[in-house]
Chain A
Amino acid sequence: MLSGLIGRKLGMTQLARAGGELGAVTVLAAGPCVVAQLKVAERDGYEAVQLGFGRKKPSRLTKPERGHFAKAGVAVSARLAEFERRAEGPLALGQTLRAGEVFKPGDLVDVSGISKGRGYAGVIKRHHFAGFPGSRGTHEYFRHGGSIGNRSYPGRVRKGLRMAGQMGNERVTVQNLRVVEVLAEQDAIVVQGAVPGPRGGYVVIRHAARPGKKARKTGDGGV
């Protein structure tokens, strides 16, 4: 069983748990992925599998990229990502991996995606600052962050101070999402909770790197 697959976010819905309580779930297309390259210790210094997912016009690629896919003998993929090897046995170039081979219900997974872009956002939206009172003398200073430092000592603004700026449209990973269901025929999995990005956004789904407490509590791991 490989450590993960590339997929797409299909959307969210609700499913009833055992007691009839509803919980939010995200449906992800997971695979099918093709093995595009095998990284081996002798040549690359580490063991890994590079997977490809989705379709893309060959004309949209650079020549070196086209060569890369031709070498593996696979169709051009929209996305590539590397995955750690686990005890999954030998894999061949061009082999197809499907959701049912990699995930099973109860697994914990980490899902990475590109979050929805919010543009240049102020401190209230971006860092949950409280802003200023709507009345009582506040003058043209409602959504500001306030002071950003002292005076001659230290005479500069501290590094890392939270200010306005680009929000979202960055890679975000959500850890330890429980796989509720694997729809092997449709190459889709259902995970508990939310996943970064818009519907249709590409995501990388890996078995949880740090299953921790959540796995211990229920007795099953991220593997």
Chain B
Amino acid sequence: MDKIIRNLEERSLRKDLPEFQAGDTVRVLVKVVEGDKERVQPFEGIVLRISGGGSRTTFTVRKTSYGIGVERVFPLHSTRIEKIVVLNHGSVRRARLYYLRGRTGKAARVATTS
């Protein structure tokens, strides 16, 4: 990739975020704008995948909310993300945990290491 573009993207990288991988359980604190007020909303679940590179990295978090599977994709370096808390490190063998989508209840868990 072009050097100028790489420099440009480097600027928007955030260095204050913890490292995590697919299978980890994270709590993402998202800034939400309601009317003219801004508040922080947590989204907690298992990281299904991390995709892209550089400033274009995104990650998908899946959780089950009232029995319904909910997935949300966040741009990793977004300024809308206040903070990411890693709650658990998962022990998984693949980078994309799409197999979790077909599972519910106890089968939809991943083994934890920490």
**A binding-site residues for B, Cβ under 8 Å:** 10-11, 13-16, 19-20, 22, 27, 29, 183, 186, 188, 190, 199
B58-77 residues with Cβ-Cβ distance < 8 A to A are 75
- Are B75 and A11 in contact, with the CB atoms below 8 A? no
How many residues on B have C-beta within 8 angstroms of the other chain's C-beta atoms? 15
Which residue from chain B places its CB closest to the CB of A199 in the assembled complex? B2
- Are B4 and A22 in contact, with the CB atoms below 8 A? no
Complex alpha-carbon distance, A11 and B5, angstroms:
7
A162 to chain B, nearest CB (A): 36
Complex alpha-carbon distance, A13 and B80, angstroms:
19
Q: A20-B31, A20-B79, A22-B75 are in contact. Are A14 and B4 (CB under 8 A)?
A: no
- Are B8 and A13 in contact, with the CB atoms below 8 A? yes
A183 to chain B, nearest CB (A): 7
Which residue from chain B places its CB closest to the CB of A185 in the assembled complex? B4
Bitwise, B9-52 to A at CB < 8 A (1) or not (0) is 10010000000000000000001010000000000000000000
Q: A20-B31, A22-B75, A27-B8 are in contact. Are A11 and B1 (CB under 8 A)?
A: yes
Complex alpha-carbon distance, A97 and B8, angstroms:
23
- Are A15 and B12 in contact, with the CB atoms below 8 A? yes
Q: A20-B80, A22-B78 are in contact. Are A15 and B8 (CB under 8 A)?
A: yes
Q: Interface on chain A toward B: helix, strand, loop, or mixed SS? A: strand
- Are A13 and B56 in contact, with the CB atoms below 8 A? yes
Residues of B within 8 A of A199 (CB): 2
Task: Offer 6 A-B interface pairs, CB within 8 angstroms, sorted by A.
Answer: A10-B5, A13-B9, A16-B12, A27-B5, A27-B8, A183-B4
Complex alpha-carbon distance, A16 and B1, angstroms:
20
> Is B88 at the interface (CB under 8 A from chain A)?
no
Complex alpha-carbon distance, A127 and B36, angstroms:
44
Residues of A within 8 A of B78 (CB): 16, 20, 22
- Are A186 and B4 in contact, with the CB atoms below 8 A? yes
Residues of B within 8 A of A15 (CB): 8, 12
B49 to chain A, nearest CB (A): 18
Kindly name the residue among B4, B9, B55, B56 whose own CB sees the greatest number of chain A CB atoms within 10 A: B4
Residues of B within 8 A of A183 (CB): 4, 8
Which residue from chain A places its CB closest to the CB of B12 in the assembled complex? A16
Residues of B within 8 A of A16 (CB): 12, 78-79
Complex alpha-carbon distance, A22 and B12, angstroms:
11
- Are B80 and A11 in contact, with the CB atoms below 8 A? no
Complex alpha-carbon distance, A199 and B5, angstroms:
12
- Are A190 and B80 in contact, with the CB atoms below 8 A? no
